[in-house]
Amino acid sequence: MPKQPFSNEQTYFALQEVERTHLASQENQSLKLEEERAREKALHFMKCPKCGQPLEETPIGAVRVDQCRACAGIWLEKGELEAIQKEEGGFVAKLFDVFHK
Ligand SMILES: [Zn+2]
């Protein structure tokens, strides 16, 4: 009977080491991804996605939207269009319908 190159015990510990290395690599990748997201958020927070200049909160009725100081673009967060729609009706309601068809 041919001799096994590795004992069952050696194989077991080798597989344990592979699994431990794989898990450490996954944790390291998750940490890097989290750091990248935090860095991107810090870099772009309250900056215009079109021209990169600072945004400032501007009231439209009772809703405070983000408006660019440079290009005057207006950026809405989740729920703000619906809030303006409820308040304004008319044109905004029709615009909202177009996006939800
Ligand atoms: Zn802008």
Report residue 16 as tokens: 């344990």
Any idea what the Cα angle at residue 41 is, between residues 39 and 43, rounded to 5°? 70
Each residue's pLDDT tens digit, 1-28: 566 678 899 999 999 999 999 999 999 9
* Rounded alpha-carbon distances, angstroms, from residue 90 to 74, 79, 85: 19, 18, 8
Report CA(19)–ligand 1 centroid distance (Å).
48
Q: What is the pLDDT of residues 55-89, one digit of tens each?
A: 999 998 888 999 999 999 999 999 998 888 888 76
Distance 31 CA to ligand 1 centre (A): 32
- Ligand 1 mean position, distance from CA 89 (Å): 27
CA distances (Å), origin 13, targets 7, 9, 18, 22, 78: 10, 6, 9, 14, 51
Q: Using CA of residue 45, residue 50, residue 56, residue 61, what is the dihedral sign?
A: negative
Q: Please give the structure tokens belonging to residue 38.
A: 């935090």
60 CA distance to ligand 1 middle (Å): 18
Ion ligand 1 residues within 5 Å by Cβ: 48, 50-51, 53, 68, 70-71, 73
pLDDT of residue 6: 80
What are the domain boundaries of the chain?
Answer: 1-45, 55-99
